[in-house]
């Protein structure tokens, strides 16, 4: 079965960077794009971007352009989300998801807390 | 970017009643619209794709309709486990976007 397992919670200071990982299993990793979505405490879902493991093509929400990098490693079926120059507004649960037209599989989420 | 506006923000109903949730897009998304359910403390779950098609395992009491800019998620005969926040998502253009959510209280 399709499974996405994310790395554990992180606590970072303002100005630092964080790298969240997402380990995929149960399917051919290179064939499906991966989406990253975040959710601040008590807030809605915010679409951050998408990456194709097959060729590295990405689409980012304009809000995150230049501050976020999505990468994949097809040898280990891993996806990564790096967010730089963190502020308290980046405190959120970060999800990876494999979305196709008719199904969607989500990781369990990674809590990132930004606090001095 | 396409803005999705959901209404109402909160909906309070009783078990057995019918819920009607709305999602309006700032420009046409054809039928490339999905609905997600997020129960407390859980990751979102896909309910509806392509505006009106139920995802695998979704009960028949969930139905979607609409095209272009106006969409509706209908839940007939509410059950207590339907307590959740419901989000629409457009899949027509990059960047994908979500609505702000409708909280369903049972």
Query: Using one digit for the tens of pLDDT, what is the confidence trace for A94-113?
Result: 999 999 989 999 999 999 99
| Mutation target among B5, B30, B43, B85 for the A interface, most CBs of A within 10 A | B43
pLDDT in tens, A25-43: 999 999 999 999 999 999 9
- Kindly list the residues from chain A whose CB atom is less than 8 angstroms away from the CB atom of residue B101: 44-45
Cβ pair B43:A47 closer than 8 A: no
CA dist B23 and B10 (Å) reads: 13
Cβ pair B95:A108 closer than 8 A: no
Cα–Cα separations (whole angstroms), residue A79 to A14, A71, B67, B104:
24, 6, 34, 33
Q: What pLDDT does residue B106 have?
A: 87
Interface of B with A (CB under 8 A): 1, 34, 36, 38, 43-46, 49-50, 53, 55-56, 85, 87, 89, 91, 94-101
pLDDT in tens, A59-95: 999 999 999 999 999 999 999 999 999 999 999 999 9
Strand partners, A4: A24
């Amino acid at each position: 079965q399709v499974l996405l397992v994310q790395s554990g919670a992180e606590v970072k200071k303002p100005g630092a960077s964080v790298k969240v990982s997402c380990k995929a299993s149960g399917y051919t990793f290179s064939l499906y794009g991966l989406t990253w979505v975040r959710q601040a405490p008590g807030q809605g879902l915010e679409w951050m971007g998408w990456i194709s493991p097959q060729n590295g093509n990405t689409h980012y929400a304009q809000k995150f352009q230049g501050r976020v990098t999505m990468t994949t490693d097809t040898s280990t079926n891993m996806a990564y989300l790096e967010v730089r120059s963190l502020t308290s507004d980046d405190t959120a649960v970060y999800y990876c998801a494999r979305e196709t037209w008719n199904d969607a599989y989500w990781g369990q989420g990674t809590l990132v807390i930004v606090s001095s | 970017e396409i803005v999705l506006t959901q209404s109402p923000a909160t909906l309070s109903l009783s078990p057995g009643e019918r819920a009607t949730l709305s999602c309006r897009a700032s420009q046409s998304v054809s039928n490339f619209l999905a609905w997600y359910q997020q129960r407390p403390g859980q990751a979102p779950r896909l309910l509806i794709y392509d505006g009106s098609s139920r995802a695998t395992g979704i009960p028949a009491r969930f139905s979607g309709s609409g095209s272009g800019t106006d969409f509706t998620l209908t839940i007939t005969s509410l059950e207590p486990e339907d307590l959740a926040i419901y989000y629409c998502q457009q899949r027509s253009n990059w960047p994908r976007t979500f609505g702000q959510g409708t909280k369903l209280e049972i």
